[in-house]
Structure 1
Amino acid sequence: MRAQGKAAPQAALINKLNPIIKGWCNYNRTVVSKEIFGELDMYLWEITERWAKRRHPNKTKRWVYQKYWKAEGSQQWNFMDAKGAKLTRHSETEIVRHVKVKGTASPMGGNLVYWSKRLRKSPNISTRVLKLMGSQKGKCGHCGRLFIDGDKWEVDHILPKSLGGKDRYDNLQLLHDYCHHQKTRIDGSQSSRTRKRDRETEEPDEVKVSRPVLKTNRAGDSLV
């Protein structure tokens, strides 16, 4: 751990490491084994133990362990602060294996339900997107069509944040990217400057279109 990490309080260290651990595990959970995750947990134990002992060089091991590690459920040694902030373990991540496509199935075959369910099992989708996709039964919150492999999606605030909407699940929905663009044009989340710019981009400049072009001869006299 870097010097600033050694001086940081336990909660700050946990908040710093957890997103890194979760992101790495989610990205690699299709290509690693439980043994690898277990080895990484052991390595994490060693570096957090060194971190704790270095902060309290004059305290006993028992005192250090009681201060920084706590039992929770069946797990006896959790790097956890007094308020319950806990360091994520690599081994808590579920291993997901790639599932082969059934037979000669193809997205062009029309079985969109199959491809939508397959998409929701993809290991490379974030937890938030998976939760929204599950609550929406795999359908876009705007057009109602199923999400399938190859689609692009965006998380949308039902009530825009610019209008007071909160960043909570009950105010979030998953939309196709093009559906999201359509929605933001009419729900007040686009700034007036952006809407004005869009209109100027889409509407031809009538003055420039109707303006006549004057032809001149070599003497500079107008020919029109």
Structure 2
Amino acid sequence: MIQGWSNYYSRVVSSETFRKLDYIIWEMLRAWTISRCGRANLHEKLRNYFRNETVKLSNGKTRHESWLFKANDGTTLWQHDWTPLVRHTLTRPEATPYDGNWTYWATRKGQATDTPNRVAKLLKKQKGKCTWCGQYFTPSDIAEVDHIVPRSQGGKDEYKNLQLLHRHTRDDKTALDEERLLYS
């Protein structure tokens, strides 16, 4: 629940709020420990529930926590502060969805006016670049959807097997795929 709530609010300025909520939850868990175990040897009893460990976060980074609430089975309580904040990217002032620059809007939003949904999603996934030549798509380019592993060689028609290529690079890739099939 904490992780879902944090993800929902990760797009607004919330780092100070996250720190406050983590502190409030820590105080509540500390009070729970005191009510359960009493005040005698409080620091020792807190160490039964709170650990000093390094945690691997969802974005791949690690973080050292000195008061990490952890159950005996190894389950840890997610902290709000672990959620990476995502900043909003401003739209270019001269850009509108109707100016014909389908590559800008598809790269930005994953959708664009008069652009097939599949093409727009692939363009966003590839960050506006052709995977074969590495150059950015322009509004005048002809972009084609290509299977990374051709269907004739057992590739599936799924997003993880699709890529967006310039028309001329797709021709080169198709020729290489046919050559590999011929000599294998």
After TM superposition, the score normalised by the length of structure 2 is 0.49
- Which structure: larger Rg? 1
Task: Please identify which structure carries the higher helix content.
Answer: 1
Structure with greater strand percent: 2
